[in-house]
Amino acid sequence: MQTVDKKYVEIRLKNLRGEMSKKGVGISILWDPDNEYYFSGFRAITYSRPIVLLVYPDKTQYIIPALEDDHARINAKVDEFFVYHEKIQNSHLDTAYHQILNRILDVISKEEVLALELDIIPASVYEMIKGKGFKIKDIGQEIIGLRAIKDEEEIYWLDQAGRLSDIALEASFANLKPGMSELEFDSFGDRKLLEIASGEYPDKIVGYENWTCSGIERSSMPHLYSSTRKFIENDIVVHSRQVWINGYRAENERTFLIGKPTAEQKKCLKIAIEAQKIGLEMVKPGVKAKDVDIASFKVIDEAGYGDYVQHRIGHGLGLTEHEEPYLRFDNELVLKEGMVYTIEPGIYIPGVGGFRHSDTIIVTKDGCRSITKYPRSLENLLF
């Protein structure tokens, strides 16, 4: 099962209520599944059936679909449940989440200030709530701030995810050969990872995702899904391996070269590795997010490849694929112990290829440590 220890849910709710109180907010109405998991320990497969978490100063409520009823009652650390139904036998009960939400809101004083995640909640739901006459504030940035500093339990799972991602990378490389497709290369890592996870982490949810961009054209585009394209002799490949366990994610990316790389390809990979090294060395409490990005970019720019950079050096990581805050040239945020980032400067040159390693790091008391440890040097990445 995927869940959060009650102790941590209580601390997180206390922190959220502290933020609500500072903003004069009476009730937070949360929509984002990762935020809901963070504050309740319950994560469902959602899609077409919304789940809503209401946080009051003294209680919490969940609005859930009937098919999640048992699942939620086992995992969710929540005070009250309201269930909506979708079979004809229960047509006399609530059959949509908004019927319940409406009823709850209708008995709340219109003087109450409500908080929503305005960058996440759909416009139609926002309009429905706002239409009742409540004053609405955004609680999104406060939650991002709370989630940015990881607690003990989160760091434990991040470490496990990092370890599993290294095991998967190693297995993919051990089976690498020209003629296999990007997706087949990924699957050797998946298989090993699931074997190890099944043996060592009983009854846990483990997931993974890979984006493998092979050849000059595909590797020059930073962000593509793995495809059925087959590796050929002298390919350059940017391989992104992502693993999550109990909800927490590690991103582990290596650029590698099959056969004989050109002199420029070797040179560019070395520059990308050096830019990442400088980024990793920069990270410590007190440093600004922007300074990490700028210092790393400078390495690439001074080597003459600044025109071929297309993205920031990294993003926050934890429950969500990309979490704010971002390590971007314009972000004044001061880094703190317990934050988690990817460090992944990239160079993408049409006709030459793409060059990017990514590691996931945790900010420590006086620097950072990487939860992904696969070797980064060129010599280890020639096949």
What residues numbered 183-202 form the site for a copy of itself, per CB under 8 A?
A: 183-184, 186-187, 190-191, 194-195, 197-198, 201-202
**CA atoms of 324 and 145, how far apart (whole Å):** 8
**CA atoms of 230 and 177, how far apart (whole Å):** 10
Do the strands 27-30 and 60-65 form a parallel or antiparallel pair, or are they unpaired?
A: unpaired
Q: Which is nearer to a copy of itself, 320 or 382 (CB)?
A: 320
Contact 34, 120 (CB under 8 A): no
**Binding of a copy of itself at residue 222 (CB under 8 A)?**
yes
Q: Considering only residues 23, 71, 137, 267, which one is a binding residue for a copy of itself as defined by CB under 8 A?
A: 71
Q: Which is nearer to a copy of itself, 127 or 366 (CB)?
A: 127
Q: Which is nearer to a copy of itself, 67 or 287 (CB)?
A: 67
Q: Which is nearer to a copy of itself, 95 or 102 (CB)?
A: 95
Q: How far is the CB of 10 from a copy of itself (least distance, A)?
A: 25
Q: Considering only residues 144, 155, 176, 294, which one is a binding residue for a copy of itself as defined by CB under 8 A?
A: 294
**Binding of a copy of itself at residue 302 (CB under 8 A)?**
no
For the CA atoms of 263, 212, 322, 330, the dihedral, rounded to the nearest 10 degrees, stands at 20
> In one letter, which amino acid is 40?
S
Q: Which is nearer to a copy of itself, 59 or 298 (CB)?
A: 298
Write the interaction track for a copy of itself spanning residues 327-346; mark x where CB under 8 A is met and - where it is not: -xxx----------------
Angle between helix axes 6-23 and 33-40 (nearest 10 degrees) is: 110
Site for a copy of itself in 345-364 (CB under 8 A): 348, 350
| N-to-C CA span, the chain | 39
Site for a copy of itself in 5-64 (CB under 8 A): 44-45, 47-48
Q: Which is nearer to a copy of itself, 247 or 378 (CB)?
A: 247
Site for a copy of itself in 134-193 (CB under 8 A): 138, 180-181, 183-184, 186-187, 190-191
How many Cα atoms within 13 Å fall on the side-chain side of residue 304?
A: 3
Among residues 268, 252, 249, 275, which one has the least CA distance to residue 327?
275
Name the 3-class secondary structure at 187: helix
